[in-house]
Amino acid sequence: MTQARIHLIYARARNGVIGRDNQLPWHLPEDMAFFKQKTAGGTVVMGRKTWDSLPSRFRPLPGRDNVVVTRQNGWQPSPASERVHVAADLPQALATAQGLGQPVWVIGGAQIYAQSLALADEVWVTEINQDFDGDAHAPVLDDRWQEVSREAQTSSNGLPFAFVCYQRRQAPKS
Ligand code: FOL
């Protein structure tokens, strides 16, 4: 069986900010709809702080298997759900996610993005064309990453942004 591909997805401000005080710094409904559509039917892998940041009515993220990474022994998701799996570290989380046989989406936060980039095939970045204050930052995509598509838009609240896809230039190790 071929391994499910690993994708990262995040929205970032022009200055690299992805979060502030464990929340998204902006309101961008078009991007939320995009995130939901992309990850639908897949497995989402996230750190425990990102799990905590999800609105309670969207926890676990519906229509997706959810894998949460935490070093805390005995941590349990609230609410309990068959579709939530707990892993002690990122490699274990990705192994669990790949075992489910669906596309794997790493959905944050900053610590988890930084650790998973080396293992990813594709990165979907919503690039917001404005700076925001924050305390969590996107990983840096160096020249091993190639932009393969870009779709620019302006949100209903006036923020210019683009949905951008990057792929790794050479095939990742198998
Ligand atoms: N990727 C992108 N492109 N944008 C994001 O905002 C984003 N956010 C996270 C991870 N990757 C992202 C982590 N934060 C929800 C809220 C915060 C969040 C991720 C998801 C959330 O509530 N999602 C609902 C949709 C809610 C709605 O329709 O308003 C979902 O079902 O996915």
Domain boundaries, the chain: 6-168
Q: Does domain 6-168 have CATH number 3.40.50.800?
A: no
Q: What is the pLDDT of residues 32-58, one digit of tens each?
A: 999 999 999 999 999 999 999 999 999
H helix or E strand, kind and range, residue 53 = helix 48-53
Q: What is the pLDDT of residues 70-127, one digit of tens each?
A: 999 999 998 889 999 999 999 999 999 999 999 999 999 999 999 999 999 999 999 9
- Pocket residues for ligand 1 (CB within 6 Å)? 9-11, 24, 31-32, 35-36, 50, 53-55, 58, 61-62, 107-108, 126
Per the omega criterion (within 30 degrees of 0), is the bond before 109 cis?
A: yes
Q: What is the pLDDT of residues 149-174, one digit of tens each?
A: 999 999 999 999 999 999 999 765 66
* Nearest atom of ligand 1 to the alpha carbon of 126: 3
Ligand 1 centroid from CA 101, angstroms = 22
**Number of C-alpha atoms within 13 angstroms, CB side, residue 66?**
25
pTM: 0.96
Which residue's alpha carbon is at the smallest distance from atom 20 of ligand 1? 54
**Number of C-alpha atoms within 13 angstroms, CB side, residue 142?**
4
Q: What is the ipTM of this complex?
A: 0.98
- Token pair, residue 132, equals 């925001």
